[in-house]
Structure 1
Amino acid sequence: MYLFLILAMVVSWLIQWRLRSKFSEYAKIGLQSGLSGKQIAELMLADHGITDVRVISAEGRLTDHYNPADKTVNLSEAVYEERSAAAAAVAAHECGHAVQHATAYSMLQFRSAMVPALSAVSRFMPFILIAGVFMINRSLIPLGVGIALFSLTTLFSFVTLPVEFDASKRALAWIDKRGIVTTTEHAMAKDALWWAAMTYVVAALSSLATLLYYVSIFMGGRSRN
C-alpha cells in the first residue's frame, strides 16, 4: 500500500509536469480564427443561450474554473487574453461547466450538493484520522468516523470525473462545430484537455488508495482488539 501511494504521488507529479508542458507548447501557437479565450467563452455562452454568466479574469496560472455560486467563468490571465489552441480548449471547457449548470446536468448537481458537507468536514477530518490511528489500541470509533468522512472526499473525486470529461466533450464538439479551430488546432485542444483530465483521474485513484490505506489500518486494529 505504501508503494502504491508513493507511485501515485510520482505519477501525479509527472502528469502535472506534462500538462504544464503541453499548455506551454500549445499556448505558443496562435489560432487562425484570432479569437481570445474571453471571446471564445462569451461566444460559447451566447450560442447556448446563457445570458446570466459573466466571463472574468482570474489571477494565477491554470486557475481556470466555473463558479456556479455567482455564475462566473473564471479564466486565468493568460487564457483570458491568449489566442491559442490551449486558450480555446480551456475557455470552452469552463463554459462546458456553465452549460452543464444551465441544463441541470445530474452529475454536476450531485457534485455541487456534496460541496457544503465536504467544506464542513474537511477542516477537522485530518485530525480525526490522526487521532484515530493513535487511539486504535483503545478504540476503533475515531478511526472509523475518520474513514467514513474521508470516503466522502473519495466519492467526490470520482463524481468529478464524469463532470470533467463531459465538459471537455461539450467543449470540443462546440469549437469544432463553430469553426473556432482548424483540424490541427482541434487535435491540440483535445490533447491538452486529455492531460488536464488525467490529473483528476490520478487524484481520484490517489484518494482511493489513501482510503484503502486507512481501512487496512482499521482492519488490523480490529483483528487485535
Structure 2
Amino acid sequence: MIIIFGLSAFVSWRLRSKFNEYAQIGLSNGLSGAEIAQQMLRENGIHDVRVLSVEGMLTDHYNPQDKTVNLSADVYYGRSVASAAVAAHECGHAVQHQVAYAPLKLRSSMVPVLTLSSRYMQWVLLGGILLLQTTPIPLAIGVALFALTTIFSFVTLPVEFDASKRALAWIQTNGVVNQREYGYAKDALWWAAMTYVVAALGSLATLMYYASILLGGRRSS
C-alpha cells in the first residue's frame, strides 16, 4: 500500500509538471483548445455535443449524459500543446460514444450502481470489520461492493488509452501539431493515462487488503 501511495504521488506530481511545461509551449497553428475540440467533433460528424469551459485545473472530462466536452479554462482558451492534447483526448471520448465503443458503454452502465454503493461502502466495510468476530456477512458485502469499484477502475483503462489513441491519430493526421508538438502531446497523454493505471492498482491493492481481513477472520472464527 505504501508503494502504491508513493507511486500515485509521483505520477500525480509528474503529470502536473508535464502539463505545466507543455502549457508554456505555444501551438504552431495558434488554435485554442476549444477550437480544436469543435473541429475534431465536426470532422467526426458529431454535431450534438457542446464544448464548455469549466472551473478548476485538470478538471477536463466528457459527459455522455448531457453530451458535453468540458474543458478547464486553461485548456479551453489555451493555445498550447497541452491544450491541444487534452481537448482532443476529451473529444476522443465523444467519438467513442458516437461509435458505441463497448468499454465506454460498460463503464457508463456501471456509474449508477457505483454512485449508490459509494454512499454506503465505507460504512459497510467499517461495520463489517467491527462485526467480523460475530458474522462475516457485512464485511463480505463490503468487499463485494469494493470489488465493483476495482472492476470499474480497470474498465476505465481501455477507455482512457483508446481516447488518447484517437486524439493523437487525429491531431497528427489533420496537421493540428507538427512532429515536435506531437511528441510532447503524446508524452502528456501518457502521463495522464498513468494516473488511471496507478488508481486501478491502488484499488486492487485495497481490495486485496479487505479480502485478507475477511478470509483471516473467517479462519479464526
TM-score range, shorter chain: over 0.9
Q: How many residues align?
A: 221
The equivalent residue for 1:214 is: 210
2: CA distance, partners of 1:149 / 1:61? 30
The equivalent residue for 1:122 is: 118
Which of 2, 9, 27 pairs up with 1:31? 27
2: CA distance, partners of 1:224 / 1:27? 56
1:7 Cα deviation from its structure 2 partner = 1.1
1:116 Cα deviation from its structure 2 partner = 0.4
Residue 56 (1) aligns with residue 52 (2): yes
Residues 99-125 of structure 1: CA distance to partner in whole angstroms, max 9, x if unpaired? 000110000000000000000000001
Question: 2:42 is aligned with what amino acid?
Answer: A
The equivalent residue for 1:181 is: 177
Superposition TM-score, scaled by structure 1 size: 0.98
Q: Determine helix, strand or coil for the equivalent of 1:61.
A: coil
Residue 113 (1) aligns with residue 95 (2): no
* Percentage of matched positions with identical amino acids: 64
Q: Determine helix, strand or coil for the equivalent of 2:56.
A: coil
Structure 2 unaligned blocks of 5 or more:
none
1:73 Cα deviation from its structure 2 partner = 0.2
The equivalent residue for 1:96 is: 92
Residues 167-225 of structure 1: CA distance to partner in whole angstroms, max 9, x if unpaired? 00000000000000000000000000000000000000000000000010011001111
List 4+ stretches of structure 1 deviating above 3 A: none
2: CA distance, partners of 1:172 / 1:201? 19
2: CA distance, partners of 1:167 / 1:24? 21
The equivalent residue for 2:39 is: 43
2: CA distance, partners of 1:33 / 1:178? 12
Residue 138 (1) aligns with residue 130 (2): no
1: CA distance, partners of 2:215 / 2:61? 39
RMSD (Å) for aligned C-alpha atoms:
0.4
Question: 2:92 is aligned with what amino acid?
Answer: G
2: CA distance, partners of 1:91 / 1:49? 17
1:75 Cα deviation from its structure 2 partner = 0.2
1:6 Cα deviation from its structure 2 partner = 1.2
Q: Determine helix, strand or coil for the equivalent of 1:124.
A: helix
Superposition TM-score, scaled by structure 2 size: 1.00
2: CA distance, partners of 1:123 / 1:156? 16
Residue 168 (1) aligns with residue 159 (2): no
Question: 1:119 is aligned with what amino acid?
Answer: T
Residue 78 (1) aligns with residue 74 (2): yes
1: CA distance, partners of 2:85 / 2:130? 47
Structure 1 unaligned blocks of 5 or more:
none
The equivalent residue for 2:191 is: 195
